[in-house]
Structures are given as C-alpha cells and as structure tokens.
Structure 1
C-alpha cells in the first residue's frame, strides 16, 4: 500500500518526489478543510483563467474550496518538477481513446504524467514517469454499495455477496477506487464497462490488467484510494472486451 505525502501550500514548492522511475508513482493527499484558506489566497496568482471561471461556477462553497485547493496543489507540484512558475504550467487533454475527442487523460507539455481525484474535502494527486491514474472515494452507504456493486466484474459481485452486510461498503469502495484509477489511467473513464476488469474487493488488489500495476493508497478512515501505473512499453486498451 502506498503512503501519500500531505500537501501544504506553505512548502509545496519543495518538489514532487526524488524518484521518477516508471511504475513508481509519487502521491500527494490534499485536505481542503485544513489548507483551503491559504490555497484560496494563492489561487489568483496560480490558477489560469479557465480554472478561475470553473471555480467561480461552483454553487457550494465546499465544492469550490476543494477544487481550488486541489488545482493550486497540482500547479505548484507540476511547476516544481518542470522548473516553471505554477501559472506557467500548460495543461492539455490527450485524445479520448473512445472517440478521439479532446477530453482524454489530462497531460502537460513537459512529458510528466499526472492524475487528480477528489471526494469530499480530500483530493489525491499522482505523478509518474508513465501514464498514471488515481482515485479516492468516500465509503458509500449500504444502498449505493449494493446497487452499483451489481455492475462490477462477476467475480467481484460474488466476493461482495460472500461478505457480511456491514463489510460490503468498504469492500465495494476498494474495488471502485481500483477500477476508476485504472480507467482514468487509460483515459477511458466510465465509458468502459465496469464488469470487464477484475481488480478485486479484498484487502489486496488482484493483479492489474495486462500492462498495468494497480495498488491501494493509504487514506483516512471512511475513504478508499488506489493508483494505477502503466508498465513501460505497453499500449493502452480500447473499449473491446478483455479476457478477464
């Protein structure tokens, strides 16, 4: 299980990680409840015009604070690694593997791969030398775990059914975080059926899909998190079925 570093705007410019070996992600957790005030103070000098418009469009103050804090952290950490001022980092979208549209995996012009996820007050950032995806999820209620859990891989559905009722929400959250981290890494997202890939609901993930390493990330109580990194030299999958 990976241990993320807690991001603090006061020292975020120190850099991302000393290790950029393919397959070894650098992970940062961002708590908007703790660091939202300083991040919002820094935001006008860091976020670009599009990010500031999006931040201003949130109705709920908590959602706006989470977005601003996460994107301030993202730009500070990317800038530190790329040798740029945070506002100078150019964020782009790769082509979507499904339709070719400009809404695939987020990227930079500097060849650094990253991924961002948020849930509640928490955001999780991943950086790697290869395509990477990350996800953090609040553990859902029993009803959501049951309804959405039925959409998972048949083996995962069986695993959930064998658990006690009180254990299922946490197990479901583990499986969902692993699956979404992988799909975000591919740039596919939920366009790919949840039933295609078996990543498991237990305390240890199943081996990742071919060409990917999937691992859990240590998260606060009430959350589950995971990261997926593409193995060097492997090609991304598309929407066809895999033999899982």
Structure 2
C-alpha cells in the first residue's frame, strides 16, 4: 500500500512562489501521489484562492450551498494548482486547466488536462480529504468515505461477477471495507480513462482483497493508497507510456 506525500499549502509567500513542502524534483518519469487535509489547509488556501483559482473555479465555489463544502472545494483546487505549478515551473494562477474530449462521445467533458506541459493529473476529494496524483502519463485517483452496509447491498450486484461473489462470501461487517476497495479502484481507473461510470461497474475486475490483482487491467497498474480510518483510496497509472515508479512518502 502506498503512503502518500502530505501537502501543506504555504500562505506567507505570493502565489507565484508557492511550492509544496517536500516537493518532488523537476518533471521526471515518476508519478507522485499527495494527500491534503482540506480542513487543515482551508485558511491558507482561502488567502491564496483569489489569485490562484480561475473564473470557472470561483464560479463553482460560489455555487456551493454550505460553507464547509465551499471551503473544501477551494482548498483541494488550490492544492492541485500549487502541485501543477511546481511541476510545470509556473505560478499556480497561470496553470491552464481544461477538459480533454470525452472518449465516448467527443464532448468537452473528458479527463481534466493542462496545455502547459506534458503533465497528467487527477484530483479526488471526499469529506475532508483530497487525493491528487501528478505524473508524466495518464493517471486516475480516488478517495472515498466507507459506504454504509445498505449501499453495499444495493450496488454489489452491479459489480463484476467475481467481485460480487467475493463480497457475498465475506462476513457482513467485512463488506463495507472490501466494497470500498473495489469502488475506489474502479473510480481511479475510470478517471484515468476519462470516461467515468459510463463504462459500467461489471466490465472490469479489480478485486476486493487487500491488494489489487496484478493483471486485472491491461495497460494500467492499480495501487491502494494509505488514508485515515473510515476512508479508502487508490490510484491508477497508465503503463502504455512506460511510466516510472509511483512515488509517495
């Protein structure tokens, strides 16, 4: 299981000088995985947000009904821009984030991308945690709170038949954690592909066990990520581009 790097957002430097603590070296052949406690970083992120977020992000933040949701969104997106700016050698506010064409329909709602350099990234946030992966090849990241037993029961039948059978063989109290592993692995893979849940939950086998299967997804590797109790997380990295190691702490 990968232990992610932990990002602290600086608040005492101008946005152009921001860099993550324990920052990785300049772009290389590795993918790095970062964890952000958005509640802890909310104050620093709010101070940087006016100069860092783009108009679309400001608009999305303003649309949240609850301040807690708005604050977590701002912190996760400021964190993403700080990491991308560090990797690209740009001020965070100058990083241009757009959407790639959807692989299914060609619409402008595919995987988030930047035209500023050969860097791929993925951002996921759930409750107070955000997970960010940045690398030289397509990547997907997902973090989730553990689902209640009722959700496991409702969705288990939609999974790959082997996964559904594995869940059914477990004791009821073990199923939420196993289901969480399946869910974040699939979401990370779908985000890497840029297609989301439209692919369907039954097509790909990612397993419910403590370790993802080594050969379950041709052209991709799956790695579980260590997060706080009550959460589960994973990252998917394309192997078609011959990536280097996935790096954490």
TM-score between the two structures when normalised by the length of structure 1: 0.91
**What does 1:173-184 align with in structure 2 at a 5 Å threshold?**
173-184=180-191
Is this contact kept in 2: 1:19–1:26, CA < 8 A? no
Identify which of 76, 86, 96 aligns with 2:82: 76
Q: Tell me, yes or no, if structure 1 residue 111 matches structure 2 residue 118.
A: yes
Q: 1:14 Cα deviation (Å)? A: 4.0
Unpaired runs of at least 5, structure 1: 235-244
Change (3 A) 1:40 1:190: same
Identify which of 194, 201, 224 aligns with 2:232: 224
Q: 1:18 Cα deviation (Å)? A: 3.0
Q: Tell me, yes or no, if structure 1 residue 147 matches structure 2 residue 151.
A: no
* Aligned position for 1:163: 170
Alpha-carbon separation, structure 2, partners of 1:18 and 1:178: 27
Alpha-carbon separation, structure 1, partners of 2:161 and 2:85: 43
Alpha-carbon separation, structure 1, partners of 2:128 and 2:169: 32
Higher relative contact order (CA 8 A, sep 6+): 2
Identify which of 50, 55, 63 aligns with 1:57: 63
Deviations 1:193-243 (A, max 9, x none): 100000001101112411000110111100010000001348xxxxxxxxx
Q: 1:25 Cα deviation (Å)? A: 2.1
* Aligned position for 2:102: 96
CA RMSD in angstroms, aligned pairs only? 1.6
Q: 1:61 Cα deviation (Å)? A: 1.2
Alpha-carbon separation, structure 1, partners of 2:32 and 2:220: 16
Alpha-carbon separation, structure 1, partners of 2:35 and 2:54: 22
Alpha-carbon separation, structure 2, partners of 1:44 and 1:219: 30
Alpha-carbon separation, structure 2, partners of 1:219 and 1:188: 25
Unpaired runs of at least 5, structure 2: 12-17, 243-249
* Aligned position for 1:209: 217
* Aligned position for 1:10: 10
Alpha-carbon separation, structure 1, partners of 2:91 and 2:136: 21
Q: 1:55 Cα deviation (Å)? A: 0.3
* Aligned position for 2:53: 47
Deviations 1:168-206 (A, max 9, x none): 001000100000000100001101010000000110111
Q: Tell me, yes or no, if structure 1 residue 29 matches structure 2 residue 45.
A: no
